[in-house]
Amino acid sequence: MSRRLGVSDHALIRYLERVGGFEIERLRADMAAKLQPYADSGAGAVVIDGHAYVFAHNDAGSSVVTVLPASGQGRQGRPYFAERKR
């Protein structure tokens, strides 16, 4: 029996570009344009259209580090974004 073949993130992105026809850099620019105001405000995350965009901030600037479903649970069984009671 042979071992299961892994696929790196780099290979997957190139596949999406070259085989799937996705314009990755255009998608990156579109995402950045949509999220820039939230990053500029120092937000840790923002939920748009059912997806949570999570930011990391440091001296060099801000980055989107992941996109999560706005509902659902993480690995520890806790909600990604729980509603806060005031």
pLDDT attached to residue 85: 45
The answer to whether the beta carbons of residues 80 and 70 sit under 8 Å apart is: yes
- pLDDT tens-digit map of 75-86: 666 666 654 444
pTM of the model: 0.76
Please choose, from the candidates 36, 73, 67, the residue with its C-alpha nearest in 3D space to the C-alpha of residue 52: 67
Which residues lie below 8 Å from residue 83, measured CB to CB, with a gap of 6+?
Answer: none
- pLDDT tens-digit map of 42-64: 999 999 999 999 999 999 999 99
Separation of alpha carbons 68 and 20, rounded Å: 23
pLDDT attached to residue 82: 53
Q: Is the pLDDT of residue 38 over 50?
A: yes
